[in-house]
């Protein structure tokens, strides 16, 4: 009896441990979900802005908004038009490289809508998520639609990192000495990582579904970004887009009265743009303002001035994305009109308590031959006396057959 009890306890112990492990892993999995990461990034952006306003005051924010006028907003809209058109062209090239079609006009409108949603919603990436899902559904391949957007954004980030590394290594900036010290170890680390990847690729085994999927994704990335048909366009569009972002930052610095040359502002602009790529913002606000305030303070231009420049840049970015709101409203109106055209009567409300009756099927028609109908009509035709009796109305003077007219019969 005791032996059986001991075996039962030993059998139940692993199951209890597995249940405990599953109970621990489930909350950890929820913490690593995209919704939780978005909320944490939004919270981090709010904390950064709160610390900045606490240390530097709200005067820099108010001063930046007050300095903006109509001509500068028009210039920001023009720069935003150029960057959006070239970004949409890059997206169309990448989508074509992985085998899905994306018309250029639709790409421009969808990109504007994504920019507006990125600026208006927390997280700063929900517009790109919406763009990826909608394009994948329209193309009939959700996976490729998502990968096209991811690769397009990756191309922009690679251009930003490459330009930022070259500029911050060669031009005076608050982080030039630190970057020069960190550049050799980083380069050795990249070379070592490439060597490890090459060794694994040479000694890989052909079996396994996951390695095949990884190789397929790498092949798509190579075809979309580095093939002869797409690489020149992707490179040119990325350079133009990055130049547009830097030009908008220089315009914001001029509006804020920074009093610095373009050569002095270029490293600071790239630092602010690199900070914007961090997923710790509220519609793009947060790390950009913090890094700009620190970089301008370290460069001797004043932390408050850097915060003002970042605020003006944020307002310019929001203004440049406003055509996306027009696209959003126009698409919503067109979808509503199409639904009304397809169903003029409109759906029956559920609160009415009844369903519309289905149309009844027509009754079958029985055809009788002409001869048979004549015989039946002659055989079963009523007699003349019966026809007279039926046709006689009450209080009529016409007598019934075989019955005299009496007061009782009347």
- Quote the pLDDT of residue 378: 47
pLDDT one-digit tens code per residue, 379-391: 444 444 444 444 4
- Quote the pLDDT of residue 17: 47
354 pLDDT band, cuts 50/70/90, is very low
Q: Above pLDDT 90, what percent of the chain?
A: 33
For the cut 80, the answer to whether the pLDDT of residue 155 exceeds it is yes
The reported pTM is 0.71
284 pLDDT band, cuts 50/70/90, is confident
Question: What mean pLDDT value characterizes the chain?
Answer: 76
187-197: average pLDDT: 76
CA distance 176 to 290: 19
364 pLDDT band, cuts 50/70/90, is low
140 pLDDT band, cuts 50/70/90, is confident
26 pLDDT band, cuts 50/70/90, is low
119 pLDDT band, cuts 50/70/90, is confident
- Quote the pLDDT of residue 33: 56
363-391: average pLDDT: 47
CA distance 262 to 314: 19
**Which token pair is 117?**
């949603």
- Quote the pLDDT of residue 63: 78
16-30, 125-139, 236-250: which range is least confident on average? 16-30
8-17, 245-254, 294-303: which range is least confident on average? 8-17
**How many Cα atoms are found within 13 Å in the side-chain-facing hemisphere of 297?**
12
For the cut 70, the answer to whether the pLDDT of residue 53 exceeds it is yes
For the cut 70, the answer to whether the pLDDT of residue 245 exceeds it is yes
Helix (H, G, I), strand (E, B) or coil at 282: strand
List the beta bridge partners of residue 324: none
For the cut 90, the answer to whether the pLDDT of residue 79 exceeds it is yes
- Quote the pLDDT of residue 373: 45
For the cut 60, the answer to whether the pLDDT of residue 270 exceeds it is yes
- Quote the pLDDT of residue 394: 43
- Quote the pLDDT of residue 193: 78
104-130: average pLDDT: 89
The contacts of residue 328 (CB under 8 Å, 6+ apart) are 113, 116, 117
93-114: average pLDDT: 93
For the cut 60, the answer to whether the pLDDT of residue 359 exceeds it is no
Burial classification of residue 361, based on how many CB atoms lie within 10 Å of its CB (0-12 exposed, 13-18 middle, 19 or more buried): exposed
- Quote the pLDDT of residue 19: 47
173 pLDDT band, cuts 50/70/90, is confident
Long-range contacts, stretch 81-87, CB < 8 angstroms, 24+ apart: 81/320, 82/240, 82/244, 83/240, 83/241, 83/244, 83/245, 83/320, 84/108, 84/111, 84/112, 84/115, 84/320, 86/236, 86/237, 86/240, 86/241, 86/244, 87/111, 87/152, 87/156, 87/237, 87/241
- Quote the pLDDT of residue 95: 94
The contacts of residue 312 (CB under 8 Å, 6+ apart) are 64, 65, 67, 68, 252, 255, 256
151 pLDDT band, cuts 50/70/90, is very high
**How many Cα atoms are found within 13 Å in the side-chain-facing hemisphere of 291?**
23
- Quote the pLDDT of residue 107: 94
21-42: average pLDDT: 56
- Quote the pLDDT of residue 381: 47
186-200, 209-223, 394-408: which range is least confident on average? 394-408
For the cut 90, the answer to whether the pLDDT of residue 366 exceeds it is no
140-146: average pLDDT: 90
């Amino acid at each position: 009896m005791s032996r059986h009890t001991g075996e039962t306890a030993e059998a139940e112990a692993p199951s209890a441990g597995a249940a405990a492990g599953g109970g621990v892993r489930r909350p950890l999995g929820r913490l690593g979900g995209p919704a939780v990461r978005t909320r944490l990034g939004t919270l981090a952006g709010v904390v950064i802005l709160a610390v900045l306003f606490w240390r530097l005051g709200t005067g820099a924010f108010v001063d930046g908004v007050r300095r903006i006028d109509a001509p500068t907003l028009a210039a920001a809209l023009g720069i935003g038009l150029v960057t959006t058109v070239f970004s949409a062209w890059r997206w169309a090239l990448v989508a074509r490289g992985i085998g899905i079609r994306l018309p250029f006009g639709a790409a421009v409108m969808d990109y504007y809508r994504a920019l507006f949603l990125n600026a208006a919603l927390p997280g700063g990436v929900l517009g790109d998520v919406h763009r990826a899902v909608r394009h994948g559904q329209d193309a009939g391949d959700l996976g490729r639609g998502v990968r096209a957007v991811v690769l397009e954004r990756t191309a922009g980030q690679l251009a930003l990192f490459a330009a930022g590394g070259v500029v911050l290594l060669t031009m005076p900036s608050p982080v030039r000495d630190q970057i020069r010290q960190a550049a050799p170890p980083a380069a050795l680390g990249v070379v070592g990582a490439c060597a490890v990847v090459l060794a694994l690729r040479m000694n890989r085994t052909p079996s396994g579904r996951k390695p095949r999927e990884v190789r397929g994704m790498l092949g798509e990335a190579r075809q979309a970004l580095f093939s002869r048909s797409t690489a020149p366009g992707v490179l040119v569009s990325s350079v133009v887009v990055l130049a547009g972002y830097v030009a908008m930052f220089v315009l914001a610095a001029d509006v804020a009265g920074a009093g610095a040359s373009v050569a002095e502002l270029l490293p600071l602009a790239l630092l602010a743009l690199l900070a914007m790529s961090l997923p710790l913002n509220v519609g793009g606000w947060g790390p950009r303002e913090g890094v700009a305030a620190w970089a301008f303070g370290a460069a001797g231009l004043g932390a408050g001035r850097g915060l003002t420049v970042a605020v003006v840049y944020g307002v310019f970015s929001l203004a440049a994305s406003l055509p996306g709101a027009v696209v959003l409203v126009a698409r919503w109106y067109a979808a509503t009109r199409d639904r009304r055209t397809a169903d003029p009567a409109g759906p029956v409300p559920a609160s009415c308590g009844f369903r519309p009756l289905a149309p009844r099927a027509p009754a079958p028609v029985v055809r009788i031959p002409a001869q048979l109908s004549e015989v039946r009509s002659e055989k079963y035709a009523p007699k003349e006396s019966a026809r007279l009796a039926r046709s006689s109305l009450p209080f009529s003077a016409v007598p019934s057959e075989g019955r005299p007219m009496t007061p009782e019969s009347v």
